[in-house]
Amino acid sequence: ETGVTQSPTHLIKTRGQQVTLRCSSQSGHNTVSWYQQALGQGPQFIFQYYREEENGRGNFPPRFSGLQFPNYSSELNVNALELDDSALYLCASSHANLEQYFGPGTRLTVT
């Protein structure tokens, strides 16, 4: 059984650019949640996908969007990057609303 994986590990973007982060869920899991963790803070919920549909959203603007694919992997897209988007982005997979298992994260730096 493979765990949750994320790619890339880290990347650097310029303000105004767009970025796509990827997450492969753990085998048997149909739900993916995305979190943003700023330095020194706890993770903040961005949104959740269940069976390819957005299932809930936190307090993030529409330039944060996502997708979930038939194999339950997921993408997080952020448009018009701002300096404050610099953070560790974590995805977590679960089967429905059972325990969430986290990936290693993607460190995004916006300059």
Give 42's contacts (C-beta < 8 A, 6+ positions apart): none
Based on the shown chain and the rule CB under 8 A, indicate whether residue 35 belongs to the binding site for another protein.
yes
Contact of 108 with 21, CB cutoff 8 Å? yes
**Per-residue contact string for residues 37-76; x = within reach of another protein by CB under 8 A:** ---xxxxxx--x-x----xx-x------------------
Q: Which two tokens stand for residue 48?
A: 């959740």
Contact of 60 with 108, CB cutoff 8 Å? no
Q: Which is nearer to another protein, 20 or 44 (CB)?
A: 44
Among 22, 30, 95, 104, interactor with another protein by CB under 8 A:
104
Give 98's contacts (C-beta < 8 A, 6+ positions apart): none
Q: Please give the residue ranges that form the binding site for another protein (CB under 8 A).
A: 6, 33, 35, 40-45, 48, 50, 55-56, 58, 88, 90, 92, 97, 99-105, 107
